[in-house]
Chain A
């Protein structure tokens, strides 16, 4: 296993050089405890292979988790991957393959002392890597915007396919709030002791129906929010204003979450109707506040629109199975960890580029370029596994 370079008598600096003075016996870039350039290169190469082995194991747990969860809940994977855009994934694959090619070519250039070629190839690798990260950024921001995230944050808009998702106005199944957010609704005045009940009505060309409300959330307008504790406390329908020490901007906005938003087009109208009545008086609440009926009536359009792509998906797929968030947990962990490795590669590549420009690499000393290329090939290889596993599930 001494890899052809069966070397040397035990090494000692018997030549009597001290500190770094004498470079006569060592070419530049070769560290002193190595016999020669080949020794250093071979050691570095073995080192990088071991490093790559441990990288594979570092990712392994995620692949195992993927296999296990896919085996146990195949319907989640079958449903959820539709949220991923194969187009971006394919472009990313292509980009990485090109960058792998340019990395390998860079090694060749270094070996042949082609400094310009080396710089060009490293640059291409760098650009491709950055391109990969840019595409990842696009994908991630889209998901964040659509609330297609991991764990409790998985909260995409849901199409019912014409059915009611909810029963008894309770929590939406599968996720905590499986509905789009409604627009803000003003309700005033917000005085203690009020009780408000809201209804959501959907009007389509075919008729009007009431949508069940699954949750309501109150927040105050403007920057006074942080300083003022919430006045309106929600449990279930109806809400009751509890605290008596609200001093901020008058007006409370309600976010009403309702099931089955049916975002099907601009001809759909969704109306929120809220009625207020004064709660039974308690010793803490002042009596004799004016009763204002029919607060906050208005017509509004839902804030969020699904892209056509997702709409198409939604129409045919039905609501997501319970715990669909699991797919995205795995998706974000795997692509996120991979992305971090790409980023690390970008940093190393920049460093190599600088050194290449300075002319550090020669046919006798090009180890760092070689090792980087090996690392980069692994990063590419991991993506080549990730892409079909995540994007191409059928």
Chain B
């Protein structure tokens, strides 16, 4: 009995807590998931203002139940609160009846069950029809909100998304690639998404949009950002070992700032010192999942101190770790395998530019 009451109390408190309890954009933790050894190397040479934006923590505000609303699609929150209120109403009602009846009709010496009807058609029909009608409204409300997420707007801004284990790649109209999503505010966005290997899913909770990403197919999602800020971007379809590390950020900029950002970032990368570019590739293109740069052991060989070494290969030959070796390892990883490591590295052919490949070689060289 007491416990049931306590549970009800908890429920009520939660319900009260769902009254808008907006927090400021509190300082969320900085990009988690990057292992400690990342800090050891030098920072890449992007313009300071771009770096500052990249380093911003993501928004952790919102109400008790839902994160900050950052897109027009977040208007579907109304449905969430509606069904929440409905649920709390019915839950409280049922719980109240159960508790009340259990107490009132509890067995005590001399107490007997009183005669009552075994069924009541009117009552049963009523409590079938009313929920049905409620469900019709819930369905319509849900359908409505859903359509707005799935209908292609008139002139959306197209950003191409490529997901693979366990990195994101967003391609912007100017040809720049980034692991983070940058979008201008109040502009309808179209994401054209595909995967290079297994299923992934794009999910930014403040945008309230989510869509599976399927290999060899394009899937689409549409949304219009409506609030400036930095938000968390997750992979929301289990994709293996580092599924929970496939997290990045989504930035909503002013329109002019956005354009400047992607243009300057692209230019900066083109002029970037190859070592810095290589380090960025290591961090953002998936190498970090299997290769360390501090000598630590992981799925693949560490890069620290590997440059120039003679390494034995599984076919018995030896090879020198030089630019050609690095290139082969990137393009045809199964060709020159070192013993003691699983042959599981996927190829990056077609995913890295020449500059990036050279950058990786330069970066590895710098780790001597």
Contact = CB atoms under 8 A, between A and B. Distances in A.
Direct contact of A and B (CB under 8 A): yes
Interface of A: 229, 233, 235, 242-245, 284
B115 interface: no
Contacts of B318: 284
B174 interface: no
14 contacts: A229-B315, A229-B316, A233-B315, A235-B335, A242-B315, A242-B317, A243-B315, A243-B316, A243-B317, A244-B316, A244-B317, A245-B316, A284-B317, A284-B318
A243 B316 CA distance: 7
Interface string B216-229: 00000000000000
Nearest to B315: A243
Contacts, number: 14
A144 B117 CA distance: 72
Nearest to B332: A235
Nearest to A230: B315
At the interface, is chain B mostly helix, strand, loop or mixed? loop
A348 to B, nearest CB: 42
Nearest to B335: A235
Given A229-B315, A284-B317, 12 more contacts: A229-B316, A233-B315, A235-B335, A242-B315, A242-B317, A243-B315, A243-B316, A243-B317, A244-B316, A244-B317, A245-B316, A284-B318
Nearest to A284: B317
How many chain B residues sit at the interface, stated as a range, is under 10
Interface in B201-230: none
Contacts of A233: 315
Contacts of A243: 315-317
A71 to B, nearest CB: 16
Interface string B329-350: 0000001000000000000000
A244 B317 CA distance: 8
Contacts of B335: 235
Contacts of A229: 315-316
A284 B315 CA distance: 14
A229 B315 CA distance: 8
A243 B317 CA distance: 7
Contacts of B317: 242-244, 284
A302 B269 CA distance: 54
Interface string B311-333: 00001111000000000000000
A9 B317 CA distance: 84
A285 to B, nearest CB: 10
Contacts of A245: 316
A244 B313 CA distance: 13
A116 B333 CA distance: 70
In the A-B complex, the 3 residue pairs with the closest CB atoms: A243-B316, A243-B315, A245-B316
A223 B316 CA distance: 22
A235 B331 CA distance: 13
A242 B316 CA distance: 10
A260 B317 CA distance: 37
A245 B335 CA distance: 18
B347 to A, nearest CB: 14
Contacts of B315: 229, 233, 242-243
A244 B335 CA distance: 17
Interface string B91-107: 00000000000000000
A235 B334 CA distance: 12
Contacts of A235: 335
A287 to B, nearest CB: 17
Contacts of A284: 317-318
A243 B335 CA distance: 13
Contacts of A244: 316-317
A353 B250 CA distance: 72
A242 B335 CA distance: 12
A84 B316 CA distance: 47
Contacts of B316: 229, 243-245
B198 to A, nearest CB: 18
B311 to A, nearest CB: 14
A233 B314 CA distance: 14
B350 to A, nearest CB: 15
B170 to A, nearest CB: 30
A233 B315 CA distance: 10
A229 B317 CA distance: 12
A146 B318 CA distance: 41
A326 to B, nearest CB: 13
A360 to B, nearest CB: 51
A229 to B, nearest CB: 7
A242 B319 CA distance: 12
A244 B316 CA distance: 9
A242 B318 CA distance: 11
A284 B335 CA distance: 18
A198 B201 CA distance: 47
A233 to B, nearest CB: 8
Interface string B293-317: 0000000000000000000000111
A229 B314 CA distance: 11
A284 B317 CA distance: 8
Nearest to B318: A284
A210 B360 CA distance: 42
A71 B231 CA distance: 42
A323 to B, nearest CB: 11
Nearest to A245: B316
A6 B298 CA distance: 71
A205 to B, nearest CB: 43
A296 B318 CA distance: 30
A207 B317 CA distance: 45
A91 B217 CA distance: 42
A229 B335 CA distance: 15
A187 to B, nearest CB: 20
A245 B315 CA distance: 10
B314 to A, nearest CB: 10
A245 to B, nearest CB: 6
A284 B318 CA distance: 9
B267 to A, nearest CB: 35
A242 B317 CA distance: 8
Nearest to A282: B317
A218 to B, nearest CB: 14
Interface string B104-142: 000000000000000000000000000000000000000
B308 to A, nearest CB: 16
